[in-house]
Amino acid sequence: MNLHPVDPLLLPPPPQEPGMADDSRKMVDGLQEWIGSAYLFVESSMEKVILPNLYQDPQQKPAIFRVLKLALAGCTGSQDGVQILKIHCSNPQLIVHMKFCGLEPCTRFLRSYREGALRAALQESLVALLGHAQHLVPLHLELRVGSERLDLMLQEEERCLRCIQQAKPDRLRDEEIGKLEDAFRSLTCDPGGGGAPKASAPKAPAYSPPPPAPAQTFVFQGQQIANRPLSLEDRQKFARSVGRKWRTVGRALNCRALREQDLDCLAYEYDRDGLYEQAFQMLHRFVLAEGRRATLQRLVEALDKSSLTSLAEDLLGLPGQREYQEQEEKQD
C-alpha cells in the first residue's frame, strides 16, 4: 500500500488560561517532545463483514469512527493520547493512520495491543454495532511503521517506541476526520447540560511495571530443566503434534490474550488452514502477548495440565513411556 504524504505537520499552540501560562506551556512542551505515528491495519475475517464497505457507507461511517476512537482511547487512557489523522480504505482492510502525543499513552497502547485488549475492545464494539449478538466478529490486526511490522517485535517495547517516535507524522488531520471528530465530541461532551447524553469514559488498562524475569530452571518429572523463551522450533513441534487439543492447551496457558472468545476467533480465522496453523497461531499469539514470560516452563506446565505429558516429554527431548501418537489413538 503506497500512502502519499501531504503537507507537513503544523501544530497550533492550545489556548492558555490566565495565571497558568507557565505550567500550561510546560505541559504542552512535554507532549510535543514525544510525538510519533503508526498505521493500524484492521481486517474482519467474517466474509459478510467488510469494514471498508461499512466505513464508506455515509450512515455507518460515524459509527465505525466511534468504534475506533473509543477503542484507542481505552487503550491509551485518554482521548488525546492518540489522534486519528486519516482512515484509508483498502479492501479488505481499514488502515488507520495514528499520531501519538506522549510516551506514556503510546506505551499503554503498545501493551494493550500486545495483550489483545485493543482487539477485544474492537470486536465487542462491532458486535454491538452490527447486532451479531451470538457471533463475535473475528478481527486480524497489524501494526506497522513504514516497512517495519511491529507485531514481530512487540516484546521489544523500547524498540517499538523508537520506531514510532522516529516516524513523525507527515500530514495534517484529514478534513473528513475533523468533521467526524467534531461529531464524536458532540456526543461524548455536553457542556450545556442538554442534547445527547454523555458517554461513559472508557476504562484504561492498568499501567504496570515490566514483569520479573522468569526462573532460569524448573523441575519436570524429577529433572532440572533449563528454562528459556519459546523458540520457533518449539512452536512448530507443538503445532505438528497437539492436534485438536490446541484449545485445551490455550486455556491452560492462562494468558489474557487467549480467552475463550480469542480461541474462537483463531479457530474461525484459520479453519481452512487446518489444525497445524490453528495451533501455531495460538502459540504465536501467546508469545506476542507475554513477551519474555512466554517460556518453555509455562508451555510444559500447560501440556501437563492438559494430560499431554508425552508431548511435553517430546518437546523437552526426554524419553517417554509411549509415543504421543499412541496416546492420541487411545484417547480417541
CATH number where 280 lies = 1.10.533.10
Residues 93 and 163 in one domain: yes
Q: Are residues 167 and 261 in the same domain?
A: no
Whether 45 and 136 share a structural domain? yes
pTM above 0.85, yes or no: no
Summary mean pLDDT of the chain:
77
- 105 with 177, same domain: the answer is yes
Crossing angle for the helix pair 260-269 and 275-290, to the nearest 10 degrees: 140
pLDDT tens-digit map of 207-257 = 444 444 556 888 888 888 888 888 888 989 999 999 999 999 999 999 888
The answer for residues whose C-beta is within 8 angstroms of residue 83's C-beta and 6 or more apart is 98, 99, 101, 173
Whether residues 39 and 102 share a domain: the answer is yes
Judgement on whether residues 89 and 153 belong to the same structural domain of the protein = yes
The predicted pLDDT at position 240 comes to 92
- Rounded to whole angstroms, the Cα distance separating 325 from 332 reads 11
174 found inside a domain: yes
Handedness of CA 91, 94, 99, 102 (dihedral sign): negative
Cell of 87: 482512515
Domain span at 96 = 35-184
Quickly state the pLDDT bin for 73 (edges 50, 70, 90): confident
Q: What whole-number distance in Å separates Cα of residue 330 and Cα of residue 332?
A: 5
Q: Quick one: pLDDT at residue 201?
A: 39
In a domain, 207, yes or no: no
C-alpha 89/C-alpha 41 separation (Å) is 10
- Number of folded domains in the chain? 2
Whether residues 50 and 153 fall in one domain: yes
More confident residue, 193 or 157: 157
Domain shared by 173 and 240, yes or no: no
pLDDT on residue 26 = 40
Among 235, 286, 263, smallest CA distance to 114 is for 286
Both 236 and 305 in one domain: the answer is yes
pLDDT at 324 over 50: no
The answer as to whether 13 is a domain residue is: no
pLDDT top residue among 165 and 213: 165
Kindly state the cell numbers that stand for 47: 466474509
CATH number at residue 101: 3.30.70.680
142 shares a domain with 278? no
Q: Which whole number is the average pLDDT over 253-262?
A: 87
Tell me, yes or no, whether 177 and 97 share the same domain.
Answer: yes
Q: How far is CA 283 from CA 216, 217, 288, in A?
A: 21, 21, 9
266/133 same-domain check = no
